[in-house]
Structure 1
């Protein structure tokens, strides 16, 4: 997969594979990953760009009007929910964590709209801490291939951690997401151009 998807994925990368102009630091990646929930990559990019061009720090967003933030992030969908969550998140970072994004998953998930997936993305992409970030693509493809037999993303996360070397944990999201976007589509997987069919239970069960 690394040969096919050398660009990997990144919160805020657009559909053409271009990284955003803002820094790949814990603060920016955290906010962009919150914005990425239930929307497309291009929408995440538009909303993140609009927000960071106007407000570019924890303190600035913490002091901002949630309604203005909601308008800035509208391209990502659910503007009121995400706008309020982002302001509340930055206020918590300022008041509880001294303006820093915590490293520990247990602390990250205390932030508004931050679950294990978002926490893992921040740790993986911004902190270079090996983490298994399980989104819909990772959960679906891992089960489709027969790597795991799980019902929830959290079960998938821990199952993949057991069978994957720690130094490769972060690669799972980077490559499985692109694989799910380009080749292993949810409704019509392109098995004819997939390079990992020899490892795939779905292909083995359905080939003719």
Structure 2
């Protein structure tokens, strides 16, 4: 299939056809990324809320390097509410935008004490009313800490759902509602993880690995990146890069050792 043929194939797609294709792609993503999960380390809802706030404009890997010391020192909402700003800023500095993040965490702790008895609430409406928590962060918390299905629209999710032709929209909230109409609610949280995994490991922003992608036959954006197996395989990332190549019918030996060993998948 040529890139031109891929694009033309979906031009007359009906809404029901799009839903069927989206659900088929979701099933393939389940097979492609069986290891998909929240890549932020946490042991309770408050820790996840804090880690997600810190993840803005940085990688999950960097956040996970900072949070062990942070979580050891700040274990409750009261700890954040009473935090010494300078000390907290010092801990958060490696994550970038540390002054704003410090402000968010202190205000979050104060709001939890004042309005929720120090306990993180488990509803979308209550979460988005808290300092530092927007809809994306709230859905991360709901889906991963409370088991409430939620769609997390980060930069990867926005990019891929547009490339997949599921949506033609840049607004995160509109994307969330459009995808919710395509995919069954029970699958929302894990779909988010799988799409994010795919965006980090296969469908990169500048040059996606189209020729080594399990979704290629169903993707109207096939050809955005190299379609030749050798060139595409070099773009795969992560510890399962060679398994991803095999899943796409590509020789795993074409994947460079450095791609497999790379510790940070942004």
- TM-score normalised by length of structure 1: 0.90
Residue 144 in structure 1 maps to residue 172 in structure 2: no
CA RMSD of the aligned region, Å? 1.7
Report whether the alignment pairs 1:34 with 2:62.
no
Give how far 1:5 is off: 2.1
| CA distances 1:24-76 after superposition (whole Å, capped 9, x unpaired) | x2111100000011101221112222211221121212111122111111111
Range 164-173 or range 49-58, more displaced: 49-58
Query: In structure 1, which of residues 164, 182, 200 is the aligned counterpart of residue 183 of structure 2?
Result: 164
- Quick check: 1:59–1:90 contact (8 Å CA) kept in 2? yes
- Specify the alignment match of 2:109 in structure 1: 90
* Structure 1 position 43 matched with structure 2 position 62: yes
1:153 aligned partner:
172
> Any idea what SS the aligned residue of 1:103 has?
coil
Q: Tell me, in whole angstroms, the C-alpha distance in 2 between the residues paired with 1:187 and 1:133.
A: 22
Larger Cα-atom Rg? 2
Which residue, 186, 203, 206 being the options, matches 2:222? 203
Matched, 1:114 2:151: no
CA distance in 2, matches of 1:180, 1:93: 34
Q: Note if 1:5 corresponds to 2:33.
A: yes
Q: TM-score, normalised by structure 2?
A: 0.71
Q: Which runs of 4+ in 1 moved over 3 A?
A: 204-208
CA drift at 1:11? 4.6
**1:11 and 1:32 in contact (8 A); partners too:** no
Distance in 1 between residues matched to 2:39 and 2:117, nearest whole Å: 24
Task: Return 177-186 or 60-69, whichever deviates more.
Answer: 60-69
Change (3 A) 1:8 1:63: same
Q: Deviations over 1:157-204 (max 9, x none)?
A: 010111110101112211011100000000010011111112211017
Could you say which residue in structure 2 is the equivalent of 1:71?
90
Please, which runs of 5 or more residues in structure 1 have no aligned partner?
A: 13-19
Distance (Å, rounded) in 1 between the aligned partners of 2:69 and 2:133? 21
Which segments of 5 or more consecutive residues in structure 2 lack a partner in the other structure? 1-28, 229-266
Distance in structure 2 (CA, Å) of the matches to 1:204 and 1:107: 43
Distance, in Å, in 2 between the alignment partners of 1:11 and 1:154 is 22
Structure 2 match to 1:54 = 73
